[in-house]
């Protein structure tokens, strides 16, 4: 394959489409932002390429993160699905786990309703037991009837989820083969999520089935339109996948967008040699945080999206409904931020487009952090007076000044984010205070310093390309595939033969798409993670291991991790619940270093900004692109690029390195 053209990463967001392109041979790069074409991602991609002056023929690889699947799920615009289940268990989605989401709210339905209505639930008389023995084999007539009913239901996509199929997929395969002859899209639970617990597996499989037609149509169109380049999509575990694999398993793209940003964060953390980092991506309506250990994002396989379980390997991102556009309200329990947002229209009051309710961004405007003379991306003019007016009623209610309120809003916003940071670190047994904070997204660099102090973090990096970071994540991502499979083997009764068979067949399945793309086995790295628990526990601890498996060592590593996370460990037997493997082809894009030390530019302006404790400081503003390598800038200072603002409060020092990253520390 020719490898002398451009590597292009594109992230299609709700408002803007970002592009970052790199020519590896020379280290030349381009980055650009264009408005997203509503409901036409392919047009957005073409517009971004054109704006960057790139022709499809000059591009080797085009990698993109897409919110297509995410939005379809969150906005409930998925396709109808029929479900084939073991007879007697057709209502598995309706029953779920029987819990409710709100303890005290009688006005809200206790949980989301089933995705498959009763008339499209099809029972099959069959049974496999927990050990994989076929107890009742479905006969041909029963399978034919299932196919007839599925066809008659009129849907394009069918999910099959039979009891204990993770232990023996035979029955699912037989039904799947018969269905595929007459139904365009079929999802089998043992392929989508070969793990135990029927509700979660079935829900995941049905969700996959319901986005399959959407993903297939889109990927097909995209491939036709950019035919001359190799196309890849970001998957939720922070790697890139071929369109063929993505079309078969579209649910693997459920977190494609956030995963791209986290992929970039992982790349930066690895290149800087950071042992533990927290990515902090604060946007308009949400904030995503993720733990990155030794340059790799933590992965979760037990998440939810829009209230539905999604058991797929995904970056372990914690998303909270608070961002720059989140509304500030004084209600029950005190001051709260979000989850309601001013949205893109009208947006915060400070954007001068008719917003009147106070947001986090309005507080920042009142504090002087946003430059009134600049236009955000040339699209928005700031109106500080409107921001003040929006905050005034709340300030009156609390009997304090507008500035004091604005500082308070910052603190409360940071407190909600601190909870998210705590969650992603606590669940992994990591002391968050030892992490470096990687701040990006529109509002991340503005809040980073205060947030870091609140959480006890001493070091912040605002990486290069921080406002087009997800697009960067696309071109630095490894080509990777991840699979997880139930094992359920006890340490004293280890069946090495069975383990090897399982391991090798998973490995072959993971390597297949990489081989198909022309990668040789030597270039493919394999990462293995055992999910281990004590007998009787439900939740496993992740323990990485190398082949060949050393049982003794695995047990030792497990006990150590258990102690780190839960504070105790015993010498009891353990069980390997599942095996997760990741096959990857590493890509090491090199960006050219920036020119060496230069002259310190003069500030673009100087004006008052407020910080805690409330007092105005005359604060200089600098253009980020003009800051020389090696600069040391003492706060208070504001550093801006076209898209985002970095706040350096008093008592902090900002530095810039040769890679274009900004470092902020307490000085």
Contact 147, 179 (CB under 8 A): yes
Least distance in angstroms from the C-beta of 98 to another protein: 4
What's the chain's Rg over C-alpha atoms? Answer: 26
Sites for another protein among residues 586-645 (CB under 8 A):
none
Interacting residues with another protein between 5 and 44 (CB under 8 A)? none
Q: Which is nearer to another protein, 63 or 160 (CB)?
A: 160
**666: contact with another protein by CB under 8 A:** no
Outline where 169-290 has alpha helix (H): 170-180, 189-192, 198-225, 243-248, 256-271
- 164: alpha, beta or left, given left = phi > 0 and alpha = psi -120 to 50? left
Q: Alpha-carbon distance 577 to 598, whole Å? A: 57
419 forms part of the interface with another protein (CB under 8 A): yes
Q: How far apart are CA 567 and CA 113, in angstroms?
A: 38
Distance between start and end Cα atoms, the chain: 50
Task: Tell me: does residue 95 bind another protein (CB under 8 A).
Answer: yes
Our finding on whether 321 is near another protein (CB under 8 A) is: no
663 binds another protein (CB under 8 A): no
# chain residues binding another protein, by CB under 8 A: 69
Using alpha carbons, select from 371, 360, 368, 350 the residue that is nearest to residue 451: 360
The minimum distance between CB 125 and another protein, in angstroms, equals 11
Residue with tokens 């947002």: 341
Q: Compute the distance between CA of residue 86 and CA of residue 122 in angstroms, rounded to an integer.
A: 8
What is the contact mask toward another protein in residues 197 to 226, using x (rule: CB under 8 A)? xxxx--------------------------
Q: Give the one residue of 77, 97, 275, 515 binding another protein; rule: CB under 8 A.
A: 97
Placement of tokens 């006005």 in the chain: 107
Please report how close the Cβ of residue 285 comes to another protein at its closest, in angstroms: 20
Binding mask 553-582 for another protein (x = CB under 8 A): ---------x--xxxx-x-x----------
- From 71-79, 259-267, 321-329, 330-338, span contacting another protein (CB under 8 A): 330-338
Shortest Cβ distance from residue 95 to another protein (Å)?
5
Distance CA 664, CA 632 (A): 10
The yes or no reply on residue 333 touching another protein (CB under 8 A) is yes
Burial of 220-250, coded b for 16+ CB within 10 Å and e otherwise, reads eebeeebeebbbbbbbbbbbbbbbebbbbbb
The nearer residue to another protein, 415 or 653, going by C-beta atoms, is: 415
Is residue 416 part of the contact set for another protein (CB under 8 A)?
yes
Cα–Cα distance, 617 to 205 (Å, whole number): 56
Label the pairing between strands 605-611 and 541-545: unpaired
**Smaller CB distance to another protein: residue 180 or 563?**
563
CA distance 543 to 555: 9
Binding segment toward another protein, per CB under 8 A, in 5-13, 103-111, 369-377, 543-551: 103-111
**Residue 537 binds another protein (CB under 8 A):** yes
Rounded to whole angstroms, the Cα distance separating 161 from 363 reads 50
Helix (H) or strand (E) run with residue 229 in it? none
CA 645, CA 663: separation in Å to the nearest integer? 14
295: CB partners within 8 A, 6+ apart: 266, 267, 269, 270, 271, 274
CB of 120 or CB of 562, closer to another protein? 562
Give whichever of 411 and 498 is closer to another protein, judged by the CB atom.
411
At residue 617's C-alpha, the angle toward residues 613 and 619, to 5°, is 130
CB of 212 to another protein, least distance (A): 25
* Shortest Cβ 326–another protein spacing (Å): 14
Q: Contacts with another protein in 452-471 (CB under 8 A)? A: 454, 456
Smallest separation, CB 111 to another protein (Å): 7
Residue from the set 111, 151, 353, 528 that interacts with another protein by CB under 8 A = 111
- Cβ distance to another protein smaller for residue 561 or 624: 561
Residue 99 binds to another protein (criterion: CB under 8 A):
yes
Select the span of 83-91, 257-265, 276-284, 357-365 touching another protein (CB under 8 A).
Answer: 83-91
CA pair distance 94, 110, nearest whole angstrom:
12
Per-residue tokens: 342: 């001013």
Binding residue for another protein, selected from 134, 415, 594, 659, defined by CB under 8 A: 415
Which of 76, 69, 32 has its CA nearest to residue 53?
32
Binding site for another protein (CB under 8 A): 87-92, 94-100, 102-107, 109-111, 113, 129-130, 163-164, 196-200, 331-336, 398, 407-409, 411-412, 414-416, 418-419, 422-423, 426-427, 454, 456, 488, 534-539, 562, 565-568, 570, 572
């Amino acid at each position: 394959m020719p490898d002398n053209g451009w590597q292009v990463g594109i992230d299609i967001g709700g408002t803007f489409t970002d592009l970052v392109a790199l020519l590896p041979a020379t280290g030349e790069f381009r980055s650009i932002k264009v408005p997203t074409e509503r409901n036409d991602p392919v047009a957005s991609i073409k517009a971004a390429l054109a704006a960057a002056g790139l022709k499809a023929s000059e591009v080797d690889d085009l990698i993109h993160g897409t919110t297509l699947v995410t939005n379809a799920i969150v906005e409930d615009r998925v396709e109808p699905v029929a479900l084939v289940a073991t007879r007697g268990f057709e209502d598995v989605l309706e029953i779920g786990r029987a819990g409710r989401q709100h303890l005290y709210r009688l006005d809200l339905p206790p949980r989301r309703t089933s995705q498959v209505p009763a008339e499209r639930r099809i029972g099959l008389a069959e049974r496999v037991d927990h050990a994989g023995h076929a107890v009742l084999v479905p006969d041909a007539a029963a399978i034919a009837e299932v196919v007839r009913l599925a066809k008659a239901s009129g849907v394009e996509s069918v999910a099959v989820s039979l009891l204990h199929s993770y232990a023996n997929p035979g029955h699912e395969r037989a039904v799947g083969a018969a269905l595929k002859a007459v139904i365009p899209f079929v999802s089998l639970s043992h392929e989508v999520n070969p793990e135990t617990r029927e509700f979660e597996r079935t829900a995941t499989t049905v969700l996959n089935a319901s986005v399959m037609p959407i993903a297939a149509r889109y990927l097909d169109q995209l491939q036709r339109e950019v035919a001359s380049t190799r196309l890849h999509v970001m998957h939720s575990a922070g790697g890139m996948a071929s369109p063929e694999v993505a079309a078969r398993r579209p649910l693997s793209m459920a977190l494609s967008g956030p995963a791209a940003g986290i992929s970039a964060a992982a790349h930066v953390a690895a290149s800087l040699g950071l042992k533990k980092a927290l990515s902090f991506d604060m946007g308009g309506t949400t904030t995503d945080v993720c733990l990155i250990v030794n340059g790799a994002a933590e992965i979760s396989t037990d998440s939810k999206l829009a209230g539905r379980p999604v058991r797929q390997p995904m970056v372990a991102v914690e998303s909270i409904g608070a961002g720059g556009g989140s509304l500030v309200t004084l209600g029950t329990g005190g001051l709260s931020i979000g989850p309601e947002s001013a949205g893109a229209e009208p947006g915060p009051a400070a954007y001068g487009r008719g917003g009147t309710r106070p947001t986090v961004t309005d507080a920042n405007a009142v504090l002087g952090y946003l430059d009134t003379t600049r236009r955000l991306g040339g699209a928005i003019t700031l109106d500080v007076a409107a921001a003040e007016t929006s905050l005034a009623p709340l300030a009156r209610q609390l009997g304090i000044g507008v500035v004091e309120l604005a500082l308070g809003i910052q603190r409360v916003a940071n407190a909600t984010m601190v909870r998210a940071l705590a969650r992603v670190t606590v669940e992994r047994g990591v002391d968050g205070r030892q992490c470096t904070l990687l701040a990006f997204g529109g509002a991340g660099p503005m809040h980073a310093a205060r947030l870091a102090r609140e959480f006890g973090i001493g070091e912040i990096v605002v990486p290069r390309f921080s406002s087009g970071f997800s697009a960067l994540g696309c071109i630095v991502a490894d080509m990777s595939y991840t699979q997880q499979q139930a094992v359920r083997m006890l340490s004293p009764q280890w069946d090495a033969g069975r383990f090897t068979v399982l391991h090798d067949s998973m490995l072959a399945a993971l390597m297949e798409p990489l081989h198909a793309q022309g990668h040789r086995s030597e270039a493919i790295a394999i990462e293995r993670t055992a999910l281990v628990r004590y007998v009787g526990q439900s939740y496993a601890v992740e323990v990485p291991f190398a082949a060949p498996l050393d049982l003794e060592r695995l047990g030792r590593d497990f006990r150590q991790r258990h102690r780190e996370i839960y504070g105790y460990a015993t010498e009891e037997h353990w069980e390997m619940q599942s095996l997760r493997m990741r096959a990857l082809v590493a890509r090491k894009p090199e960006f050219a270093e920036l020119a060496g030390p230069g002259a310190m530019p003069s500030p673009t302006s100087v004006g008052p900004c407020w910080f805690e404790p409330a007092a105005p400081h005359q604060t200089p503003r600098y253009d980020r692109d003009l800051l020389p390598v090696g600069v040391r800038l003492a706060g208070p200072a504001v550093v801006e690029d076209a898209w985002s603002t970095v706040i350096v409060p008093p008592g902090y020092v900002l530095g810039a390195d040769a890679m274009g990253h900004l470092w902020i520390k307490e000085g």
